[in-house]
Amino acid sequence: MKLLSRHLMIDFYHCKEESVSDGAAIERHLRDTLTSLGYEIEATSARVFDDQFAVTVIFPEGHLAIHAYRELHYVALDVFLCKEDAEPESIYRPLKNFFAPDKTKTTLIKRGDFTKEIKPKTKTRFAPVRKLKITGANVIRILSNQK
């Protein structure tokens, strides 16, 4: 086993208005898309909030979560598939056609990748120290010019 799952995060910007305004149509399209791809849906939850519509779908191979913001014409979507050879892109394509966004951003993460040595990441920032030295030098120069 090289990795446990694949997690595709999708942002759809400037979606067509009718696709983000009808929560029932979004839920229906998600169900149709998943069943047409061979996924057996175990549970679905849909909620309407003031400015958004949220749907979660659970199936044996993973889960899907979507938040559609009517006023922003924006959709945030997570597809999590629990197989090493999973292809979350197969779910992405029909949803992109449904929402018809002007701009799309996708991020694919391979979850549970045990093939690489896991090392903690550390970040060191040098800019504030450099800026402090430059500022200190400027203060000294200004003070020496006043004499």
Instruction: Report the CATH number at residue 99.
Output: 3.60.90.10
The side-by-side arrangement of strands in the sheet containing 103-111 is: 43-48, 52-59, 62-69, 74-81, 5-13, 103-111
Quick one: pLDDT band at residue 126, thresholds 50, 70, 90? very low
Asked whether residue 132 is assigned to any structural domain, the reply reads no
Q: Is residue 118 part of a domain?
A: no
Long-range (24+ apart) CB contacts under 8 A made by 36-39 are 36/94, 37/90, 37/91
Residue at 136 is within a domain: no
Domain that includes residue 63, residue range: 5-111
| 126 in any annotated domain | no
| Domains of the chain: total | 1
pTM equals 0.73
CA 4 to chain centre: 19
pLDDT over 70 at 134, yes or no:
no
pLDDT on residue 21: 86
Domain assignment of residue 121, yes or no = no
Which band of pLDDT confidence, cut at 50, 70 and 90, is reported for residue 144? Answer: confident
